[in-house]
Every structure is written in C-alpha cells, then in structure tokens.
Amino acid sequence: MDRRLFLGGAVATTVAFALGRHSMAASEETESTTADFPAINKTKSEWKALLTEQEYAVLFEEATERPWTSPLNKEKRDGTYICAACYLPLFHSDTKYDSGTGWPSFYQAIPGHTGTSRDWKLLIPRTEYHCARCGGHQGHVFNDGPKPTGQRWCNNGVALKFIPSSGELPELRA
Ligand SMILES: [Zn+2]
C-alpha cells in the first residue's frame, strides 16, 4: 500500500469531519470514548422530569452555577463524585483540590467517563466536558491545574453528587 496515499486520505477525512461538525454547531465536536458502561438515551423532557430546575439548566442547557454556592466546595471526605443525571462516576476524591475559584475542582477525571467539545461562548475557545454516558454538561477543563496532570477540571457542583466511601454507589440510572 502506498503510505503517502493512505496518510493523505486519513488527513482529508479528519479535516472533512472537523469541518462538517463545525458547520453543524460550534459546541458539538464530541470526541468518541470507549464506553465500558451501559448506554442511556433519555429525551430532554424525560431528564427535566427527573432533575431539579438548576440541575437541568446546568446539565442540559449548559448554564453555569454561581461560584461559591456549591456545598461540594467544602467536601473533603473520601468518596466518588458521580454525574447528577445518570450517576456515572466521574471523579475520585483523591483528585479533588481547592482551586480557589468557587467551583469544585479536580486535576483528573476518571478515564473514559467524560467527553469534550470546543465551546466558544466567551469568544475564546474553551474545552467543555460532559458525562460520557448521558451527555450532561459538567464544566470546563483548563491547563492551569496542579501536578501531576497540570489540568483543572472546573465542575459545576450541582451537576455532581458526592457518595462517601462509607456509602454505596447508586445503580446507574436506566
Ligand atoms: Zn451522566
């Protein structure tokens, strides 16, 4: 096989894909992830019925909660942070740190459990991330975090539920 032809084809495909997605919607360039959990496919109105108004606004309309309002800012116990919509675990407490921003912050998400997209809401590109299972918006990831990753996963507290390690993780919502 001609290697140059092969590579050229791959690049063309990638560019066409990126352009296609971009013209569709600026905030929907979702990366694919390898799912090791059961799929979920609820409509927005089904989610609306299950969630509080604030949870729904953040998770499915990409609203941002006011800083310093989440009780999870002060949460320091060992445990797991799960998606408030579908209950998929997204962060472990040992990756949480105090970023001083007023939002719960982590230096790492559980691998494969989030997807990312570009977001141009503030006119500069930001990396939005969401639950890989239900698509619920969680927050934005920045490159000014602490070691070992240097990342800051800045999460809306209302989009997460904390399950202490003394408790039991709920079953994923069907
Ligand atoms: Zn979810």
pLDDT digits over 33-70, tens only? 456 899 998 999 999 999 999 999 999 999 999 999 99
pLDDT digits over 106-152, tens only? 999 999 999 999 988 777 789 999 999 999 999 999 999 999 999 99
Mark whether 102 and 145 lie in a shared domain.
yes
* Ligand 1: centre distance to CA 10 (Å): 32
User: What pLDDT, on the 0 to 100 scale, is given for residue 120?
Assistant: 82
Identify the residue whose tokens are 């998400």.
Answer: 109
Sequence-ordered list of residues with C-beta below 8 angstroms from that of 168, at least 6 positions apart, any chain: none
* Ligand 1: centre distance to CA 40 (Å): 9
Kindly tell me if the per-residue pLDDT of 25 is higher than 70.
no
User: What pLDDT, on the 0 to 100 scale, is given for residue 123?
Assistant: 76
Range of the domain at 91: 31-164
Mark whether 62 and 85 lie in a shared domain.
yes
User: What pLDDT, on the 0 to 100 scale, is given for residue 8?
Assistant: 42
Residues with a known catalytic role: 154
Long-range contact pairs involving 25-29 (C-beta distance under 8 Å, separation at least 24): 26/118, 26/119, 26/120, 27/62, 27/117, 27/118, 27/119, 27/120, 27/121, 27/128, 28/117, 29/117, 29/118
Mark whether 24 and 104 lie in a shared domain.
no
22 falls in which pLDDT band (50, 70, 90)?
A: very low
Mark whether 90 and 131 lie in a shared domain.
yes
Identify the residue whose tokens are 């050229």.
Answer: 8
User: What pLDDT, on the 0 to 100 scale, is given for residue 146?
Assistant: 98
Mark whether 39 and 22 lie in a shared domain.
no
* Ligand 1: centre distance to CA 32 (Å): 15
* Ligand 1: centre distance to CA 45 (Å): 15
Helices (H), 25-119: 44-50, 53-61
Mark whether 26 and 111 lie in a shared domain.
no
User: What pLDDT, on the 0 to 100 scale, is given for residue 86?
Assistant: 98
pTM for this model (two decimals): 0.79
Has residue 170 been placed in a domain? no
Q: For the chain, give the mean pLDDT.
A: 85
**Would you mind telling me the total number of residues written for the chain in this entry?**
174
Q: What share of the chain is helix, strand, coil (3-state, %, to 5)?
A: 30, 25, 50
What is the distance between the alpha carbons of residues 65 and 114, in angstroms, rounded to a whole number? 19
Domain count, the chain: 2
User: What pLDDT, on the 0 to 100 scale, is given for residue 34?
Assistant: 55
* Ligand 1: centre distance to CA 35 (Å): 12
